[in-house]
Amino acid sequence: MVAEHFDVLIMGAGLSGIDAAYHLQKLCPGKSYVILEQRERIGGTWDLFRYPGIRSDSDMLTMGYSFRPWTHPKAISPGDDIRDYITATAHDEGIERNIRFRHQIKRAAWSSQEAKWTVEAVRTSPGGGEEAVTLTCNFLFSCAGYYRYSAGYLPEFPNASRFQGRMIHPQAWPENLDYTGKRVVIIGSGATAVTLLPAMARTAGHVTMLQRSPTYIISAPEQDKIANWLRRVMPAMWAYRLSRWKNVCFLTLFYRLSQRYPNFVKKRLLKRVQESVGADFDVATHFTPRYNPWAQRLCLVPDADMFEAIKSGRASVVTDHIETFTEKGILLKSGKELQADIIVTATGLVMQALGGADLSVDGQRVDPSKALAYKGVMMSGVPNLASVFGYINASWTLKADLICNYVCRLLNFMDRKGVRQVTPKSGNETAVAPFVENFSPGYIERALASWPKQGSKPPWRVYQDYFRDSILLKWSSIDDGVLEFSNPPEALAAPQPLELAQSAQ
C-alpha cells in the first residue's frame, strides 16, 4: 500500500507547531502539510502542565506570535490563557483540521533515492489500542519542544519510600488535589518552584521551598501598563508590535548588560529583592546565587507575589541539603527536620531532542551529538529536516517565528531552483561548543552531550540574540554555499516543468 504523502510533516501541535503551520499556509500556500501530535489536545507545554499558578515567566508580548496580537491585560499570563491563545490561533487559521491527534512519531527514515522521509508513528485510540501508521513527506519539521513528555526529572532521594505523605511531580499534577491547610514542602528553586510557592500558600497551612542553592528572582508588574495604554489609543496590531519591540529591546539590553557588567547587575537585582522581602530577611543566604545573572534562566515573579507570601508568614525558604527522607518529611544536613503532608519535587525536566524519534539517513542512524547545528535550525549531514529550539534568555516564540519564516523561505527557494533535497555540509568545520553555551541549569547540563554541537563561526553558531538571528534567518541569502542542494537520480531523469527549469538556470 502506498503511504499517504505530504510536502511537509510537522511534529507537534504546541506553540511552535501551530506557528509552523501558520507560516506554511501563509508563505507556501501550495504546500500540503499535516501535523502529527502525540497528545489529545493542542498546546503542548501549556496543556500538559496543570500545577497551581502555572503561568508564563516571560512576557506574552514577546511570547505571543508575531502575527496575532496578545490582547489580554496580563503580560505575565496564566497557563490557561496561553493554551486558549494557541488553540484559538489554530482554530481561526483553519489549522485544526490538519492535526492528527494521538499520533506519536517513533522514527523517520530519509531516502536520498526518493528525496523523502518515511515517518512511522503509533496511533493510540481513545480506548488505549495502538496501531502503526506510516506517512511520507518531503520535509520534516520538528516542533516537538525540548523535553520528555512522559515524565519529568526526579533525582534519587535517600529513603524516599519512607515518606508517608504524598509526593508529587509538577509535570504530573493530580486533578483536584486538595492541599487546604496542609504542610507543603517544594523541593527546587527554579521557575516552577517560585510559581508554586505563592499559589499554594494562599490555602495551604504552610509552604516551604527547600533549595540547595538560590536562583536570581526578579519581580515585574503582571500588567504591562504601556502595552495596555497603547492598546487603548491605537489598533491592537500596532500596539502589539510597538510593545513587542519595546520588550525585545529592553530584554536584549538587560541580557547584554548582564554579560558585560555582571557584578553591577547582580547588586541591582539583590537590592530589589531585599526591598521586596524586607530589610530583616537573609537575602545573602536565600536569594544570592553562586553564579552570575543569566548563567541560568532568571525567574520572573509577577508583582512580587512570592516575596509577599514569605512576608505574610504563609511561606518560607530553606537553603540546605537533604540528608534523608523520613516518615514525616525531610531531614536536612543541618539536622533540622521539615515536616510535610505533601512534598512537591519541582526538580525539572528531562531534555529530549526531536520528540524522542529515531532518525536515519539512507539506512545510517543519525547521532545528533556528532552533528553540527546549522543556524540552530538544521543538522549537518541530515537532509530536509528543521527543528525549533527557542531562546533561553528571551521568549521562545521570538526564535520560533524566525525559524518558521526561514523554513518557508528555504522551501520556496528550493521550488524556484527545482531542487528537492537540501543538506547542510559542515566541510572542515569542527565542534567547538555545546548547542547552548554559558548556561548551566541542571536539565541542560544533563542533556547537552547528546545534542548537536556548535562550530566556530556562522552559520554553525547558535545565537541567543534576536537581532543577530533576524539577520541570519530572515535577511541572509538562503544559498550561502554551506547548504548543498540536489535532486535524487530519478528526478534528474524526469523532465522538469518548464517554469522550474527556467528559474533554475
Q: Which residues are at the interface with ligand FAD (CB under 6 A)?
A: 11-17, 36-39, 44-46, 49, 56-58, 63, 104-105, 143-145, 149, 191-192, 355-357, 388, 390, 395-396
182-208: burial string, b at 16+ Cβ within 10 Å, e else: bbbbbbbbbbbbbbbbbbbbeebebbb
E-assigned strands of 272-406?
299-302, 315-319, 322-325, 329-332, 337-339, 342-345, 358-361, 364-365, 373-374, 378-379, 385-387
Torsions phi, psi for 238 (to 5 deg) = -65, -50
Cβ(319)–Cβ(209) under 8 Å?
no
Cell triple for 124: 493510540
Query: Which residue's entry shows cell 496564566?
Result: 78
Q: State the amino acid at position 228 in one-letter form.
A: N
Distances (CA, A) of 10 to 224, 430, 452, 486: 34, 30, 20, 22
Task: Convert 391-407 into a string of H (helix), E (strand) and C (coil).
Answer: CCCCCHHHHHHHHHHHH
The three-class DSSP label of residue 486 is: strand
Closest C-alpha to 359, from 119, 83, 194, 188: 119
Residue 459, preceding peptide bond in cis (omega within 30° of 0): yes
Cα–Cα distance measured from residue 497 to residue 80, given in angstroms and rounded to the nearest whole number: 48
Task: Convert 117-140 into a string of H (helix), E (strand) and C (coil).
Answer: EEEEEEEECCCCCEEEEEEEEEEE
43-80: burial string, b at 16+ Cβ within 10 Å, e else: bbbbbbbbbbbbbbbbbbbbbbbbebbbebebbbbbbe
Cα–Cα distance measured from residue 331 to residue 323, given in angstroms and rounded to the nearest whole number: 6
Q: Provide, rounded to whole angstroms, the least separation between the CB of residue 501 and ligand FAD.
A: 37
Q: Provide, rounded to whole angstroms, the least separation between the CB of residue 152 and ligand FAD.
A: 9
Query: Which residue's entry shows cell 510593545?
Result: 243
